[in-house]
Chain A
Amino acid sequence: MAAEFLRVEKLTKRFGNNTVVHGVDFAFAKGEFISLLGPSGCGKTTILRMIAGFETPTSGSIEVEGQDITHLKPNQRQLGMVFQAYALFPNLNVGDNIGFGLKIAGMGREERRARTDEMLRLIGLPGFEKRFPYEMSGGQQQRVALARAIAPRPRMLLLDEPLSALDAKIRVSLREEIRAIQLDLGITTVFVTHDQEEALSISDRIVVMNAGHIEQLGAPHEVYNKPATRFVATFVGTLNTIEASVASAANHQVTIDGQTVALPSLPSGAVDGSAISLTLRPEVLSVGNRPGNDIVLAGTVADVTFLGSVIRLRVALGQNTLSLDTFNDQRTAPPTRGEPVTISLASKDLLILGE
């Protein structure tokens, strides 16, 4: 692994009696795009604000390039930050907003202008330097905020839910733009979001957080395909849960809605007749008996949602209802509600999750 650029050790934050971050540890290499992902109140923004210097950790340390910055003031950390609410200075035009950090750093007028022009080209807004923030769309304002954050060449870029205030369509295009700029500059970036799709689509690695703890840290495909805990599995992507009963613990057989299937393994402590939960992603399920799938189940179509290129089915198996997506085939009509349907899956795709 490359040398550690950002290291967070045993980071804890308490507000009164409420501990919002519990001894968090992680380390990242230079140039990585890291997402802190989790629901509201999980402590992700508090961690970002501690890295920025806006909150003081109760205990623990933060190092950037080997320098302990835990107790440095925000204006001594040489970091850039983009805020959810854009936070452009209303009294300054775009050029002056971008040049703000450069002016503070004592850069001369000409040099500042050149850097501002360079930033405006980078964000695709050349010629916008005389405009005021209120004259621009939300997406444009956030791009200016990004340019302002990276203009002083910070050591690291912090993004605090920068896409949350934008419309869905702008969000997608801007996140791609942010990622392209980050790759282009090779700047280490910490991105806070509660949107799993955002985190999965642009991150090198994701820190999934819950209640002040790290649930899992890994590449997007690892987090999605091999969730470490049930929380990660349910928070990142959609998860189906099948309630089954153990038919034969010795033979790894379970009964689902009266249909007996064999599994590669059973959770420890499973005995004959005990109830267990099996979890699986919607995409591992196929309509019909697909070659390679060793579990075939018969059910009934409970609901059909036509989404254009994809049809989302909900299939009832007794008490269980499974969700799965199938591609729209223009030559055949979509299944109808109440229609009997056969679904199949590979037993190796079942997720055995810890709590």
Chain B
Amino acid sequence: MKPSRFWPWFTLLLGASYFIIPLIATFEFSLRMRRGYYSFDAYLSVFSDPRFQATFGYSVVIGIFAIIVGVLIVVPAVYFVRLRLPWLRPFVEFLTLLPLIIPAIVLVYGYIRLYNSSSLIPFTGSALGTDVLLVFAYVTLALPYMYRAVDTGMRTIDVQTLTEAAQIMGANSATIIARVILPNVLVAVLSGAFLTFAIVIGEFTIASLLNRPAFGPYLQNIGANRAYEPAALAIISFIITWGAMGMINLLARFAPRTSARTD
């Protein structure tokens, strides 16, 4: 007997509606700024706000630096742990999960205590220093995602044999990472990069407590003082996040393919 498809569909639609209905409602509300008509006035208001442009631009730049620093730390770390210190993997995996367990507010208070203007490394003593601290904070926050993305990418290639093949042809470790390992896990690295970007764009706690003009605090500020713009911003944030996720799926198609044919 063919099993009924009703319940699977029902469960799926119930789950989907949990996410979709509030989103549709938010979108519908964001179009109501002009009384009696649907319009994109709220969106026009948001895009024409110089604070939107400034904070969004700031978060994009911070996000890009967080991605660069993250890649420079995570790729060699995952590579050397897989190659030379495989026994350390469970410990590193646990370590990279900590940012998910430790609340951002705890993290940022720790930073402020450690790096305040009267400490040995006074990151918060200047705007630039605080920006650097914010980048490092975002690297930490995105570590679970970046680490897992890169680790999964490295699992798909034979890191040890490829390393040995490059070594015997004269390549040193830096060359191997740059020309062999990184290109073969680039799609995974970019997945991690887009996840980092998605996190950075909407992050509020750390940016707010470090008093930086980021997009997250701007969203909060608008939400507290306006009616329709917050709804428009929520939709814009969703589109950015989904765009980042869509890019991850798109990039997966371009991953270098391996073949273990025997013919």
Contacts and interface: CB of A to CB of B under 8 A. Distances in A.
Interface of A: 52-54, 73-75, 77-81, 83, 85-91, 100-101, 104-105, 132-139, 141, 145, 148-149, 152, 158, 165-167, 170
A104 B175 contact: yes
29 contacts: A52-B168, A73-B167, A75-B168, A75-B170, A75-B171, A75-B172, A78-B170, A79-B168, A80-B169, A81-B164, A81-B165, A83-B164, A87-B162, A87-B165, A89-B166, A89-B184, A90-B157, A91-B186, A100-B166, A100-B171, A100-B179, A104-B171, A135-B259, A136-B261, A137-B263, A138-B259, A139-B263, A145-B165, A152-B170
A83 B263 contact: no
A83 B161 contact: yes
B262 interface: yes
Contact of A134 (B171, B172, B180, B257): B257
Top 3 A-B pairs, shortest CB-CB distance: A101-B169, A90-B256, A134-B259
B175 A90 contact: no
Nearest to B164: A54
Given A83-B165, A87-B162, A158-B168, 7 more contacts: A53-B167, A89-B162, A89-B166, A89-B180, A91-B184, A101-B169, A138-B260
A85 B262 contact: no
B158 interface: yes
A221 to B, nearest CB: 31
A130 to B, nearest CB: 15
Nearest to A52: B168
A136 B171 CA distance: 25
B162 A134 contact: no
A127 to B, nearest CB: 19
Contacts of A170: 262-263
A144 to B, nearest CB: 12
Given A89-B162, A89-B180, A89-B184, A81 B168 contact: yes
B246 interface: no
Interface in B140-178: 157-158, 161-162, 164-172, 175
A101 B170 contact: yes
Interface of B: 157-158, 161-162, 164-172, 175, 179-180, 183-184, 186, 256-263
A135 B158 CA distance: 18
Given A83-B164, A90-B256, A138-B260, A105 B170 contact: yes
A77 B164 CA distance: 13
B257 A90 contact: yes
A238 B29 CA distance: 85
A105 B259 CA distance: 28
B175 to A, nearest CB: 7
A91 B183 contact: yes
Given A83-B161, A85-B161, A91-B183, A74 B260 contact: no
B130 to A, nearest CB: 39
A221 B257 CA distance: 44
Contact of B184 (A74, A90, A135, A138): A90
A177 to B, nearest CB: 15
Contact of A52 (B157, B164, B260): B164
A7 to B, nearest CB: 20
B168 A85 contact: no
B42 to A, nearest CB: 45
Given A87-B161, A89-B184, A166-B262, A148 B169 contact: yes
A138 B169 contact: no
Contacts of A52: 164, 168
A201 B158 CA distance: 31
A141 B261 contact: yes
Nearest to B263: A137
Nearest to B168: A81
A6 B46 CA distance: 74
A167 B161 contact: no
A81 B157 CA distance: 19
B259 A80 contact: no
B258 A104 contact: no
Q: Which of B158, B165, B256 has the most CB of A within 10 A?
A: B165
B1 to A, nearest CB: 43
A75 B261 contact: no
Given A83-B161, A89-B184, A141 B259 contact: yes
A149 B257 CA distance: 21
